[in-house]
Amino acid sequence: MPNKKIIITQESLDELNEEYRRLNDVEMPDVISKLELARSQGDLSENADYSAARDRQAQVAARIAAIEEILHNHEIAEAGTTDKVSIGHTVTFIRLDDKSKRTVALVGNVGANPTANPPAISNESPIGKAILDKKPGDVATVESPSGDYDIKIESIQM
């Protein structure tokens, strides 16, 4: 079965490439150096530095593998025009039940960052699924674990 394509923005791809380089060029060599130093201290069965370095090596290797999976199975999202919401757009919408206004950046399933300004949300999140392919003025239902609610798309920016 072929792997599912991972849709990401160019910005997210650039960040992943930079993280991949840092992990391979800085983090992993540092971990290997710490492992060699800990090994030189003798008995490994009671060597906390060695255990910590092995744990860190496993974490770095796992992250490298995860990034490689994304890099081998990604597709760059094309933002296109602002006539309908797509990945790479910034969208302002109004929640119809409480009239609150919110602006979010729609990203692929890699690159979500709720603390960014505006918050970057995944196209696979409840809001992301609801707003994808909608036009300004459209009403969409967000299927949230805490209850469904309607939103109205106010504007779309690149």
pLDDT digits (tens, 9 = 90+) for 62-119: 999 999 999 999 988 776 677 899 998 999 999 999 999 999 999 988 888 999 999 9
Is there a single domain that holds both residue 15 and residue 72?
yes
pTM, rounded to two decimals:
0.69
Residue 83 counted as domain residue? no
Range of the domain at 134: 90-157
Residue 18 counted as domain residue? yes
Residue 85 counted as domain residue? no
84-97: b (≥16 Cβ within 10 Å) or e: bbbbbbbbbbbeee
Is there a single domain that holds both residue 127 and residue 72?
no
Residue 133 belongs to what H/E stretch? Answer: none
